[in-house]
Chains A and B, each alone.
Chain A
Amino acid sequence: MSGRDPERQPWGNNGFTVPMRKDLVFGMAGSGGDGIVSAGDSLLQAAAAEGYHGVMTKSFGSQIRGGESSCRVRISTDPILNPGGDLDVAVALNWDDFLKFGAELPVSGKTVVIYEAATNIPEDQIPLVGITPLQVIAVPMTAMAKETAGTERAKNTVVLGLIAGWFGIGAVAVMKGIRKKLSKKGDELVEANQRAFDAGRAFAIEHPLVTSMQIVASDTKGNVKLITDGNDMCAAAAIFAGCKFFGGYPITPSTEIMQFFTDHVWKYGGSVLQAEDEIAGIGAAIGASFAGLKSMTATSGPGLSLKTEMMGLASIAELPLVIVNVQRGGPSTGLPTKNEQSDLFAAVFSAHGDVIRPVLAPTSVADTFRITIEAFNIAEHFQTPVIVLSDQEISQRKETLDPIDTSVFKIEDRLVPTGSDLQNYKRFKLTENNISPISHPGMLGGTYLASGIEHTENGAPTNSGTVHAKMNNKRTKKFDPLRERRDLFEISGDPDAPIAMVAWGSVAGVCREALAMARAEGLNVKLLVPYLLYPVAEGFYNDYFASVKKGLIIEQTHLAQFHKLLRMHLDLPKGVKPMARSGANPFLPGEIVAALHRLLSELQRSHESQLQPQE
């Protein structure tokens, strides 16, 4: 594919255009003062303006400012499934900080490495052990910034100029964005940035890459695109679903959900409480639900642990509630800024007693919208707390999205008592489907006592074993229809494939890419992505695994939690094994494909051994 675009320089050998790239993964690292994340953001915005799909993730050290700082931006002409594996372009403003990110910014033989010349490290002696990158270029970014903009801090703009020059992204759009962002700060600052940008671009033009890596023009330039991250998407979805109350407490990486509510929920007649602690946050949300509103709280691992008692209360009182848990490295304080999926056990099993509590998991920023709405619908329909198990990567990852048609989504409300229900109203009536109409304060005839203590049909406290068994039955059997929801699962690939993957949350995105790669290489593989993690839909899984001889349950948990959860409920085929590891080390599509190849070999070997003539 080649083409001419007035905003691009023709590149490659002898000035003729050459085959261009459709997908580029940038990884940039420096210290907090280098403005790396701002640069990444500008790049993402520019890419969106030019019609590309883009995804940006960030990673930091533990200082609030000035510590090591990195971002990864993937830009593509096609929808992006995950932030990508090995970098195409690595930008290191200094090596100490770049190396701190280790496996998060993997450099390989296909990477172009651009680094700060002032590090005084020769191009053939960069500290990447055992790796020979495609090309290594030292650029005097800091000096250029000082010279053109009068400050070293403008080096991130120099980097953006370099990127525009070498890779063809944002030649006009980046500065357009910067102008907009800095418009209130005065012309001088904008012009300084323009000079720095131009200097970077000029350098790139004067020093062409050995292999062109220009990106193809997008054919959706000019289409409306959304840019947002998982947290904002979750909050917007909640308000769309009719959520009128949020109670919560700040905790990384979920705080932005609360912030969105504090910005917007008032406009819809709702309210939000930043409570004094995690427990008060969910307590207030439970109160609001009791009062008849759709309500929500959001937290991460440590907060989920604190909220445990209240979750049990909501379950026994049969109150609808959405609890978003944005997972991060655990246990305890763990790794607050890293991705992990190890809250699964806590989400499923937390709270003493015999409790079933639905757990849903989005896999991307885009489907966070649908899954959050689904969580509210399930919470209201089944009169239960529901956990949305997001993760740090989805929540913090900024993605471009095509517009979403909100009219296709159905919103469900809780079952309200009719006139005849309100004659001698029994809040916890043992109905055929175990769902009893729920009143709320202000409703004449609907008065009842909600409580954490076991209760009879009309809410009176009881310690009778017989009633308790009946009520436990009501509270658990009511979820049976949820196990039949096939729309909460996604299967891709050949449904009869003998090799299978199962992955959830952000790992599903990596596996989708791995699936495409594996199938392109001729592997007969299928992938199951469950959006409903609990209750376990045994029938569904049994169907999925019927054809399976070898498989992987792929997750970022040290204890292979989802694998264990499935084994609790069904007989997994012997050849289905966990591919599980601690968080902060993302899975890469390539390594999954390699693992699938290994499974294929094993499968072939066992076939062969079965076919061996008996001695």
Chain B
Amino acid sequence: MNGTTTMEFQPKDYKSDLKPIWCPGCGDFSVVAAIYRALAAIGRPPHEIAFVSGIGCSSRIPGYTTAYGFNSVHGRSLPIAQGIKMANPELLVLAAGGDGDGFSIGGGHIPHMIRRNMDITYIVMDNQIYGLTKGQLSPTSKKGRTSSTSRHGSLEQPVNPLLYALAYGAGFVAQAAPIDIAGMAATIEEAIRYPGFAFVNIQSPCVTYGEESQQIKGLKAISESLPALGHNPADRLAAMDLAQHYGDKLHLGVFYRNPEPPPTYGDLIKERQELLSKDALPRERILDLFIKK
């Protein structure tokens, strides 16, 4: 049979003893299972992985892995992930959170993550609602959506996470959903392997507050595979064209992957450190910089 090489790590090696508090049926169960698989395929030992999240149901995810986890504050997983990656570029750094964490309070950090192009993978579990705090609107909620903070219907257009990332120049943008776990695991693996900032938007239904149309059945009804459509992931404009259908269609797969990934922020830092360390005064002599000449 087609050989898969024996893997050093199995998915269960990335699964911690902590049991999720998510509602039964939550899409995030599938997401974390896919993450275990992706990490196993990549084969980095758990202690070399740092997994940062914000606040929300999906932000609980690092605790359910055996990686070093950091469940931080709302909307701020990306800056913290950046600090970790800059401090130790050898680590595999993941960031995760929900659509509110990422595109509401955290939205201001995304363009800068993208333009710095650090080798970090950002997974957003997008369910168009704020689950943890009992069902308020989220920035990806459809216009007209009723919720606990919009009983008469939302007056706002949703943000489009895919266009957002593509327009800001992300080098890797993809979408996945629990309706295709194999595809989801493969997409996440590809995102992690991409040398630079990678964004994966995952439609992960909320069974407690999500609308009927956003549940698994509803997602199946509007899903289309990007490879099956013949989409070329090296074509950013075509990707943006498809991304416009966010909300009406669930395109699964890689929207865009830069065929010539530029150097990562980490590469550039390393270069600079090597160049400038030749000039260094020993640390004990650093005050010599202030000597009046």
Contacts and interface: CB of A to CB of B under 8 A. Distances in A.
Direct contact of A and B (CB under 8 A): yes
Interface of A: 45, 48-49, 224-228, 232-233, 236, 239-240, 242, 244-245, 247, 264, 266-271, 273, 275-277, 279-293, 295, 309-310, 313, 317, 369, 400-401, 403-404, 406-407, 439-453, 459-461
Contacts of A48: 292
B88 interface: yes
B229 interface: no
A232 B290 contact: yes
Contact of A271 (B71, B76, B86): B86
Contacts of B45: 444
Given A267-B277, A441-B91, A275 B112 contact: yes
A131 B59 CA distance: 68
B72 A452 contact: yes
Given A276-B108, A442-B90, A449 B69 contact: yes
Interface string B121-146: 00000000000000000000000000
Given A227-B290, A293-B88, 4 more contacts: A247-B83, A271-B86, A287-B52, A291-B87
B49 interface: yes
A435 B275 CA distance: 39
Interface stretch (B35-43, B192-200, B253-261, B280-288): B280-288
9 contacts: A239-B286, A275-B112, A279-B79, A287-B80, A440-B68, A447-B69, A449-B68, A450-B68, A453-B71
Contact of B284 (A264, A280, A407, A441): A407
A309 B74 CA distance: 10
B47 A446 contact: yes
Q: When A and B form their complex, which 8 residue pairs have the shortest distance between CB atoms, in order from nearest?
A: A287-B83, A283-B79, A284-B83, A267-B280, A291-B87, A280-B79, A288-B87, A287-B80
Interface residues of B, number: 56
Contacts of A279: 76, 79
A403 B287 contact: yes
Nearest to B79: A283
A447 B289 contact: no
Given A244-B87, A286-B83, A447 B284 contact: no
Contacts of A310: 73, 76
B80 A290 contact: yes
A295 B87 CA distance: 9
B72 A226 contact: no
Given A283-B76, A287-B87, A310-B76, A236 B286 contact: yes
A283 B81 CA distance: 8
A48 B290 CA distance: 12
Interface in B15-70: 18, 45-50, 52, 55, 60, 62-63, 66-70
B120 to A, nearest CB: 11
B109 interface: yes
Nearest to A443: B47
B269 to A, nearest CB: 5
Contacts of B1: none
Given A286-B83, A449-B71, A453-B71, A442 B290 contact: no
Which of A286, A293, A401 has the largest count of B CB atoms less than 10 A from its CB? A286
A225 B88 contact: no
B272 interface: yes
B63, B80, B275 — most chain A CB neighbours (10 Å): B80
A273 B69 contact: no
A284 B281 CA distance: 26
A271 B275 CA distance: 13
Contacts of A239: 283, 286
Contacts of B228: none
B276 interface: yes
Nearest to B285: A406
Contacts of A442: 47-48, 88, 90-91
Contacts of A275: 79, 82, 112
A295 B83 contact: yes
Contacts of B291: 224-226, 403
B47 A444 contact: yes
Interface in B254-274: 269, 272-273
A564 B292 CA distance: 42
Contacts of A244: 87
A461 B292 contact: no
B277 to A, nearest CB: 5
B241 interface: no
A290 B83 contact: yes
B58 to A, nearest CB: 14
B47 A280 contact: no
A284 B80 contact: yes
Contacts of B277: 266-269
Q: Which of B50, B91, B289, B292 has the most CB of A within 10 A?
A: B292
Contacts of A228: 290
A271 B80 contact: no
A81 B287 CA distance: 21
B12 to A, nearest CB: 15
A5 to B, nearest CB: 20
B287 A406 contact: yes
Contacts of A277: 108
A309 B292 contact: no
